[in-house]
Every structure is written in structure tokens, then in C-alpha cells.
């Protein structure tokens, strides 16, 4: 099995993510993004509704530390149990 190609792709994707994050952090640090941020916030607040609030609270719960830990353990367990690699 050739692992070189997926590893190179993963490395490049990680590198691009780091560069993008650094760029956004720099913009936020310099306060150059305030106008963009205000525009996006105003747009999103236009969709505010009680049902959407419930859905977003569910997403917030799923992203909480305790939920991520539980989901990570479950993911590892099922990966080990059901995904086998043929060693031949």
C-alpha cells in the first residue's frame, strides 16, 4: 500500500490550514476585520428564530469538552473493533 500520496496531501492541507489561521489571527489582532465581522453578525442575526436557537444549542453541546471526549472514545472504540487492516 502506497502511503506517500495521502501523507503528502495531509501535510499540504495542514500547512494551508496553519497559514490561513495565522492570516486570520493577524487580521483580528490588527482590528482590520471588525467591519467584516459586523457585516457577518448582522446577516446571521437576521435568521434568528426560536427553533434555530435550539438547533445551535445542540451544536454547542456536541462541541463541548465532555461531548468531544465521549465521541472521541466511541470513535476510537468502533474504529478498533470494526476496522481491521490486513497485515499480509
Q: What is the DSSP string of the chain?
A: ---HHHHHHHHHHHHHHHHHHHHHHHHHHTTTTHHHHHHHHHHHHTT--HHHHHHHHHHHHHTSHHHHHHHHHHHHHHHHHH------
Which residue numbers in the chain have pLDDT < 50? none
pLDDT of residue 84: 64
pLDDT of residue 36: 77
> pTM for the whole thing?
0.46
Q: Among residues 62, 56, 33, which one has the least CA distance to residue 44?
A: 56
pLDDT of residue 87: 56
- Report d(CA 67, CA 20) in Å as an integer: 27
Amino acid at each position: 500500500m502506497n502511503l506517500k500520496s495521502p501523507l503528502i496531501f495531509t501535510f499540504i492541507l495542514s500547512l494551508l490550514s496553519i497559514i490561513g489561521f495565522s492570516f486570520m489571527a493577524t487580521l483580528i489582532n490588527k482590528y482590520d476585520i471588525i467591519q467584516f465581522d459586523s457585516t457577518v453578525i448582522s446577516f446571521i442575526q437576521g435568521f434568528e428564530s426560536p427553533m434555530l436557537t435550539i438547533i445551535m444549542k445542540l451544536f454547542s453541546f456536541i462541541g463541548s469538552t465532555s461531548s468531544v471526549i465521549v465521541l472521541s472514545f466511541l470513535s476510537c472504540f468502533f474504529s478498533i473493533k470494526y476496522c481491521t487492516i490486513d497485515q499480509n
